[in-house]
Structure 1
Amino acid sequence: MEYRPLGRTGITVSHLSLGAMMLGAMGNTDRDECVRIVHGALDAGINTINTADGYSAGESEEILGEALADGRRDEVVLTVKTGLKVDGHPNHGGGSRRWLTQAIEGSLRRLRTDWIDVYELGVPDPDTDIDETLGALTDLVTAGKIRTFGASKMPPSQIAEARAVAERRGLGVFRVEESPYSMLNRAVEYDLLPTCSRLGIGVLAFGPLARGWLSGRYRLGSDVGAPGSSNRARGGRMDATAPANAAKLHAADALGALADDAGLTLPQLATAFVARHPAVSTVLIGPRTFEQLESSLTADGVDLSEDVLDRIDAIVPPGSTVDITDAMWEHGTRALDAGARRR
């Protein structure tokens, strides 16, 4: 397993990290297997685990607390997100001091730990002044409850704004950014990754399989979007009759053929592509089963030639995205929504 610096935090992370979203009711309800997944990841050399207080209403954190209770907490870099409003309570979520000081206590209790390595604002909060958020997070560092903090899906302009506010107010700065990145959605290459690189911000990249499109299951001629298929039933998200999805299916098929030529599976190609970017500190893999963990780990050690990278660029150009709505949804901005850009 390769290890890399997490920006300029001084923390070292494995280039593959365990994403724990599927541990619990949102994915795998077998707690024994979930614990086995965590231990399997650690045994394979992964030292970084990512979760959120909203994953399965805190159950993901509880499972991690159980899995790390055998004395393995010290070897793990824990990154935890908060801020999503998941229970309907008007003050449970966001970036206010009120919520952050409350949320951290629940996460620490469920994780059975005294500290969190990286605490992330899980989504930008337009209703809270950024100095309020930075002030609360800085105080959590001072109190020893977190070691450093970051954000997720924060546009580069807001990262720069937060940095300016922090320097003016003498507060801590966002040192980590968690953002989606895949061969189908390369929008982060245009500005976010260069910004993070310049500012020394560590990047946790999630979604290398593009919400399943690069899992290898979806190729031309498959039953994606067929009448009555489970794919079409999932709210239209995988309905290949929609123009944007048809474009993703064609790109996924071309990338699958490229993976075949390179002697790789498509998930291996997809994960290795994201991991290879010099601004990316670690790539989150989110297995639901132990078998999926084993499959994801086969991307460890895969290198891509310049020829393969050039062929990927020919299918999906650098800095672009196949479906602009993916970029808007995944990158925390609605600036290109029709309502926001009407003159």
Structure 2
Amino acid sequence: MKYRYLGTTGVRVSQLCLGTLMFGAWGDNSPDDSIRIIERAMGAGINYIDTADSYSRGESEEIVGKALAQSGKRDRVVLASKCHAPMGVDPNSRGNSRRWIHQAVENSLRRLGTDWIDIYQMHRPDPHTDIDATLGALTDLVQAGKIRYLGSSTFPAHQIVEAQWVAERRHRERFVSEQPPYSLLAREIEADVLPVCQKYGMGTATWSPLAGGWLTGRYRKGQEVARTRRAGRWGKRYDMSLEANQRKLDAVEQLALLAEDAGITLLDLALAFVTEHPGVTSAIIGPRTMEQLESQLGAAEIRLSQDVLDRIDEIVPPGRTLNPEDGGWAAPELADAALRRRGHRAPGA
């Protein structure tokens, strides 16, 4: 396993990060099976594990905590978690407010069975909370020793810049990492997010490098599309009646042929492409089974030739995302018409 510095923190993390989205109820697997995956990943040299409070409503964090306790390797793991998504019916059990961040961190520490979280991330931007309030709360937690570093996830470039400026001007701890979506089919961050992160010395752990299963061979032209957990949760990314997803199918066919010509699998091509970018620190893999983990570990050793990279650019141009739904976040002004039109109030305003 290769290791890279996480931005300018001086912390070295594995080129592959173990994502735990599918551990617990969401992945419909047993805690014991998930723990075995974590143990195998650590045995293969992965020292970077990412989870979130919202993954299976806290169960993923509990599984990770149990695995680290059993292994006795907590000190050797760079552990990342997140908050933002709703964690119950209470309207304040969500978002990026000072009130919720402090409570969410305590909840995560308890579930993880640890005294500190190495990288604590805001899972998405919060348009209702001043970024200074968010950074202020996180700074307090760093000073209290409960978290080591701050990070963001799926923030647009302008909000990453704003957070850096606020941190400097208000003497707050700054975001040292960003988690954006990035794959052969979703390259939008090449235009702004990755260059901005490089400019500010931020590490990046990119999620969905396999495009939610699209780059594993599961979705191909002429094949019946099976109903999956992901499709049920994020339907617009998998609805084959949508033109955007037809474009993805066309691209997958061409990419599969390219991988075959290069003598590697489509999955290897996808993971190697992501880690090839100089602005990417780690690619977050999210295996649900041991078989899936084993199929992804070898990609860390693959380097793509310039000819292969040029051909990829012809299939999916740099900076282009074939289906905007794969971007993981949309500006509220685009999702809510009331924010674009005079005389209308946004819901909850």
Pairwise same-fold verdict (TM > 0.5): yes
Please state if 1:145 is matched with 2:130: no
Structure 1 residues 276 and 335: alpha-carbon distance in aligned structure 2, compared to 1, 3 A threshold: farther
Please state if 1:44 is matched with 2:44: yes
Match of 2:272 in 1: 272
Shift of 1:338: 8.1
Match of 1:18 in 2: 18
TM-score (norm 2): 0.93
Shift of 1:335: 5.0
Alignment-mate amino acid for residue 312 of structure 2: I
Q: Distance in 1 between matches of 2:267 and 2:35?
A: 24
Match of 1:217 in 2: 218
Structure 1 contact 8–201 (Cα < 8 Å) conserved: yes
Alignment-mate amino acid for residue 176 of structure 1: S
Q: Distance in 1 between matches of 2:107 and 2:220?
A: 43
Alignment-mate amino acid for residue 241 of structure 1: S
Structure 1 residues 246 and 320: alpha-carbon distance in aligned structure 2, compared to 1, 3 A threshold: same
Shift of 1:230: 2.7
Q: Distance in 2 between matches of 1:24 and 1:13?
A: 25
Match of 1:260 in 2: 260
Larger mean CA deviation between 179-188 and 330-339 belongs to: 330-339
Structure 2 contact 187–321 (Cα < 8 Å) conserved: yes
Match of 1:95 in 2: 96
Matches for 1:45-194 after TM superposition, within 5 Å: 45-70=45-70, 71-194=72-195
Shift of 1:298: 2.1
Report the 3-state secondary structure (helix = DSSP H, G, I; strand = E; otherwise coil) of the residue aligned with 1:177: strand
Report the 3-state secondary structure (helix = DSSP H, G, I; strand = E; otherwise coil) of the residue aligned with 1:246: helix
Q: 2:227 aligns with which of 222, 227, 230?
A: 230
Structure 1 residues 199 and 76: alpha-carbon distance in aligned structure 2, compared to 1, 3 A threshold: same
Aligned sequence identity (%): 55
Match of 2:345 in 1: none
Unaligned segments of structure 1, at least 5 residues: none
Q: Distance in 2 between matches of 1:113 and 1:148?
A: 15
Structure 1 contact 115–145 (Cα < 8 Å) conserved: yes
Q: Distance in 2 between matches of 1:291 and 1:233?
A: 21
Report the 3-state secondary structure (helix = DSSP H, G, I; strand = E; otherwise coil) of the residue aligned with 2:51: strand
Alignment-mate amino acid for residue 50 of structure 1: D
Alignment-mate amino acid for residue 91 of structure 1: N
Deviation digits for residues 43-102 of structure 1 (CA, Å, limit 9, x no counterpart): 000000000011111111111111011311011000101111132210101111111111
Q: Distance in 2 between matches of 1:185 and 1:255?
A: 14
Q: Distance in 2 between matches of 1:62 and 1:94?
A: 21
Q: Distance in 2 between matches of 1:278 and 1:177?
A: 14
Structure 2 contact 123–152 (Cα < 8 Å) conserved: yes
Match of 2:244 in 1: 244
Report the 3-state secondary structure (helix = DSSP H, G, I; strand = E; otherwise coil) of the residue aligned with 2:284: strand
Deviation digits for residues 225-270 of structure 1 (CA, Å, limit 9, x no counterpart): xxxx536984464232321111111111111111111111111100
Shift of 1:124: 0.4
Q: Distance in 2 between matches of 1:176 and 1:183?
A: 21
Structure 2 contact 18–50 (Cα < 8 Å) conserved: yes
Structure 2 contact 82–120 (Cα < 8 Å) conserved: yes
Alignment-mate amino acid for residue 37 of structure 2: I
Alignment-mate amino acid for residue 242 of structure 2: A
Unaligned segments of structure 2, at least 5 residues: 343-349
Deviation digits for residues 167-222 of structure 1 (CA, Å, limit 9, x no counterpart): 11111111110110001010000000000000001101010111121111222221
Structure 1 contact 218–253 (Cα < 8 Å) conserved: no
Q: Distance in 2 between matches of 1:196 and 1:180?
A: 14
Q: Distance in 2 between matches of 1:78 and 1:168?
A: 29
Structure 1 residues 160 and 111: alpha-carbon distance in aligned structure 2, compared to 1, 3 A threshold: same
Please state if 1:333 is matched with 2:331: yes
Q: Distance in 2 between matches of 1:323 and 1:167?
A: 36
Report the 3-state secondary structure (helix = DSSP H, G, I; strand = E; otherwise coil) of the residue aligned with 2:300: coil
Alignment-mate amino acid for residue 90 of structure 1: P
Alignment-mate amino acid for residue 183 of structure 1: L
Match of 1:315 in 2: 315
Structure 2 contact 29–288 (Cα < 8 Å) conserved: no
Structure 1 contact 80–120 (Cα < 8 Å) conserved: yes
Q: Distance in 2 between matches of 1:204 and 1:239?
A: 27
Alignment-mate amino acid for residue 46 of structure 1: I
Number of residue pairs matched? 337
TM-score (norm 1): 0.94
